[in-house]
Chain A
Amino acid sequence: GAVVSQHPSRVICKSGTSVKIECRSLDFQATTMFWYRQFPKQSLMLMATSNEGSKATYEQGVEKDKFLINHASLTLSTLTVTSAHPEDSSFYICSARAIQGAQETQYFGPGTRLLVL
């Protein structure tokens, strides 16, 4: 199946710093990648849709100036949490669309756990 990686897997930072998370599709090209956020014991909440070569589309309530998304190539999207605060601590998961049979399916990365002190 399609493999999606994320880096780093875990990061601890001080309040006010910026953190960059990378999402890579390893064995396929993804014109569209997605960024999700997941709090403990909750479902995944879509933050934004990242399209290669164009601006990301953000979901309602997600600050685009705080969560900067760059989709520079067909295999890489980055999420930068700017001026992170403790309330930004969460599990961030990316996914990428790949063709599974005749259907486009989303495959997920392993997630990045962010802890802001």
Chain B
Amino acid sequence: GESVGLHLPTLSVQEGDNSIINCAYSNSASDYFIWYKQESGKGPQFIIDIRSNMDKRQGQRVTVLLNKTVKHLSLQIAATQPGDSAVYFCAENMPSNMLTFGGGTRLMVKP
């Protein structure tokens, strides 16, 4: 995962627009990836996952894209709503079967 920093990168989008949140992962042998959403003062909430044998997976209003060549993961949120405002973390399942988290991105949705 990415190194942990004191200041989360922030993505600000207009309500109704699409959001794209990016994540770089560290281990080319990681076989499973998860996106979590964390609202202030709460634990992370599972959003969507993808295995390494896939490059795209769609859920309700969310799509995860995996590019193993460059070790990149993205989360696309369609028609972003105020309730989508949160910090989003990607996590990779390492060969040791441990999850490693990225640094997180704060999504702010402007009404």
Contacts and interface: CB of A to CB of B under 8 A. Distances in A.
20 contacts: A1-B46, A41-B6, A42-B6, A43-B102, A44-B44, A44-B89, A46-B99, A95-B43, A95-B44, A103-B49, A103-B51, A105-B34, A105-B49, A108-B36, A108-B45, A110-B42, A111-B41, A111-B42, A111-B43, A113-B41
Interface residues of A, number: 25
A67 interface: no
Main secondary structure of the interface of B (DSSP, over half): loop
Nearest to B89: A43
Contacts, number: 56
Interface residues of B, number: 26
Task: Name A's interface SS.
Answer: strand
A1 to B, nearest CB: 7
Contacts of A100: 46, 49
A49 B1 contact: no
Interface of A: 1, 4, 6, 34, 41-46, 49, 91, 93, 95, 100, 103-111, 113
